[in-house]
Amino acid sequence: MLRGSKVGLRARHEDDIPVLHAELYDDVVNASRSGTHPWRPLTPGSTDSPLVVDDKNERQAPFSVVELDGGTLVGTASLWGIDAHNRSAHIGLGLLAVSRGKGYGTDAVAALCHYGFVVRGLRRLQIETLADNAAMLGAAERNGFVREGVLRSSAWVMGAFLDEVLLGLLADDWAPAR
For residue 63, which of 27, 89, 28, 41 has the smallest C-alpha distance? 89
What does pTM read for this prediction?
A: 0.94
Alpha helices (H) along 50-158: 104-114, 134-142
The pairing of strands 160-170 and 2-3 is unpaired
Label residue 55 exposed, middle or buried (CB < 10 Å: 0-12, 13-18, 19+): exposed
In the prediction, which pLDDT does 108 show? 98
- How far apart are the C-alpha atoms of 13 and 98, rounded to whole Å? 20
Give all domains of the chain, ordered by start, each with its CATH number.
Answer: 2-123 (3.40.630.30)
pLDDT in tens, 45-83: 788 888 888 888 999 999 999 999 999 999 999 999 999
pLDDT in tens, 99-133: 999 999 999 999 999 999 999 999 999 999 999 99
- How far apart are the C-alpha atoms of 27 and 21, rounded to whole Å? 9
